[in-house]
Amino acid sequence: MSALSILATGLGKRGIHVQSDGAHPRAILTSDQLVLPEFMSEKWGLAQASVAHALAHWRYSVAGRPVRGLKPMGIAIVSAIEDARVERLLLQNFPGMRTRFLKYLSPTPAAGDLSFAALVARMDRVLADPQAQDDNHWVNKARRLFEETAERAGLGDYDAFRAVAAILANDLGQMRVRFDPQLHVVPAAYRDDNSYLWDFTDVEQTSDDEVTVRRMMSRPSGMSVELDGDPPSAGALNFSEACFQYPEWDYRMEHLKPEWCTVIEKSPDGRHVPNPTGIKHHFSRPLQFSDSRRVSRTRRLRRQWDGDDIDLNAAIEVVIDRRMRLQPEPRMFVRRGPESDKSSTLVLLDLSESANDRAEGSQMSFLDIEKQAALLMAGTASLEGNRIAVHGFSSNTRSEVYYTKLIDFGELPTLVSITRVTEVQAGFSTRIGAAIRHATAELLQEKVNIRNILLVTDGTPADIDVHDPRYLVEDARAAVLDARKAGIRSFCIAVDQDGDSYAQRIFGWRNYCVATNPHRLPAQIQRTCARLASN
């Protein structure tokens, strides 16, 4: 490896040591050392390309950037974009290296391979080779954004290219592309493992199931809106109104349309009336929640001094540190952590026009039964730290998805809240996906370990601007999956004999039930809330 060390020193104009190590599938780069895999020892051209790529990082990359705010998939995409950026900069001074880089890129994957590794390999090729062509939308989007950023901001603007990587990583999440950080290897054999770019020492210890919700699902700041016509509202009660934008999943295009739906939130104006004497007698027996603490099966504390299992990420770093003759970090265990049983459950009521129809075998409408359930839930709100909210929704096309807070988290039953429930009206259609996304944003503000959405509906998702019966079902399913990734469980009670046809597709076979007796719906909602709070 002495010849490669001379080459690296000559190109980099400083002392750089190159050595061989067979314990790693890709090269490892430090501030003054390049460790090459054993298989490169007899492949001079491949080793030259690896040295040149390392030189590009030494010259144009900032080492040890913190990974705070990035998930593993995001780190991989940012690293791949950074590889392309620094190589492009290097080629300005050493244009002859382009042929070497292109020769040792990973082979083009099969056209039908849409795995993460295949998509990144295809992206690497179109960013490195101006003549390369690809028929994948995401790959072509990567090329377009990369070239536009290079022309607008210049190749030296790291932050601009990191923004491009964030967009691409978000698109992969929307495309449901799976990423396993334990199995990921940089596709191109001559490129290093990108550990030079990142500093993992300050990574927060979070649970495996806690993920940051996508930026387009987060609530923007509210702004006042004026509505044409009279949307469903709680009579003459005063509500404050705010407008929020959410995406919508198009299963035909396999694309998440950004800012496609407008949710108009109607919140109580904040007035509170003291609880009248005897008001508690109007409510049923409160739900019984467990106040014990439990050991979670999903929440695991990483990088501990001792524990039940080995932290694989920490163990890999220990091996690397030992190979590099560095002092390894001794905290390399995983153990289970305590988790409080406190919960927040948001009951989401369908307030569409069909709710005005009479329930089967009753003189009461489905809306009246929903109101009974909401009043029963009001009596159990905020007991023993287990918080309950009752919200309702309806829609009049994607531009007007009405979302009404009937009883909010932490709100005690008062004359105002009771009147708010009894006077609410039903109308318009049922756009479930947008309502679930807004409910998810509401629940993410709750500082508890267990968060649930309980949807109560009497029919399949539908709206007047959608003619494909499957479209809103698939959008609702995507919203439920996004909520699940954010650590929120969604459950459905379908008061509909045909509820199996759509509820199972949206929520999964374990997360819904069909209510055959509408009169028992209030009690069934209470039992379901109690069960969700204890799971």
Q: Which of 116, 119, 150 is CA-nearest to residue 134?
A: 119
| Per-10-residue mean pLDDT, the chain, length 535 | 58 64 77 80 82 88 85 92 94 89 88 88 94 91 94 92 91 81 87 88 44 31 35 47 90 90 79 36 40 48 76 83 74 69 85 82 80 74 68 91 88 75 86 94 87 90 88 94 90 86 88 83 82 73
> Given 3-state DSSP classes, what are the helix, strand and coil percentages for the chain, each rounded to the nearest 5?
40, 20, 40
pLDDT tens per residue, range 331-387: 778 877 655 557 888 999 999 888 888 777 667 888 888 888 887 776 655 455 678
pLDDT tens per residue, range 118-128: 999 999 999 99
- Give CA–CA dist 38/42, Å, rounded: 9
Per-residue pLDDT at 218: 31
- Give CA–CA dist 454/532, Å, rounded: 9
DSSP, res 453:
E
Q: Which of 370, 354, 348 is CA-nearest to residue 463?
A: 354
- Give CA–CA dist 46/256, Å, rounded: 40
Per-residue pLDDT at 232: 39
Q: Which of 443, 288, 458 is CA-nearest to residue 366?
A: 458
Of 3.40.50.2300, 2.40.128.20, 1.10.357.10, 3.40.50.410, which CATH number belongs to 222-269+343-534? Answer: 3.40.50.410
Which residue carries 């509500």 as its tokens?
Answer: 239
Report helix, strand or coil for 506. Answer: helix
- Give CA–CA dist 529/48, Å, rounded: 63
Q: Would you kindly state where each structural domain of the chain is located, as residue ranges?
A: 2-199, 222-269+343-534
**Beta-bridge partners for 493:** 456, 513
Q: Give how far Cα 350 sits from Cα of 101, 230, 418, 455, Å.
A: 58, 18, 18, 8
Which uninterrupted H or E stretch holds 91?
helix 72-93
Q: What tokens does 344 get?
A: 């927040």
- Give CA–CA dist 403/405, Å, rounded: 7
Which residues contact residue 467 at a Cβ distance below 8 angstroms, ignoring those fewer than 6 apart? none
Q: Which of 316, 73, 64, 323 is CA-nearest to residue 184?
A: 73
CB count within 10 Å of CB 93 equals 11
The answer for 406, left when phi > 0, alpha when psi is -120 to 50, beta otherwise, is: alpha
Can you give the length of the chain in residues? 535
Which residue carries 């806690």 as its tokens?
Answer: 210
Per-residue pLDDT at 210: 33
pTM over 0.85: no
Strands (E), 24-154: 28-29, 33-36, 65-66
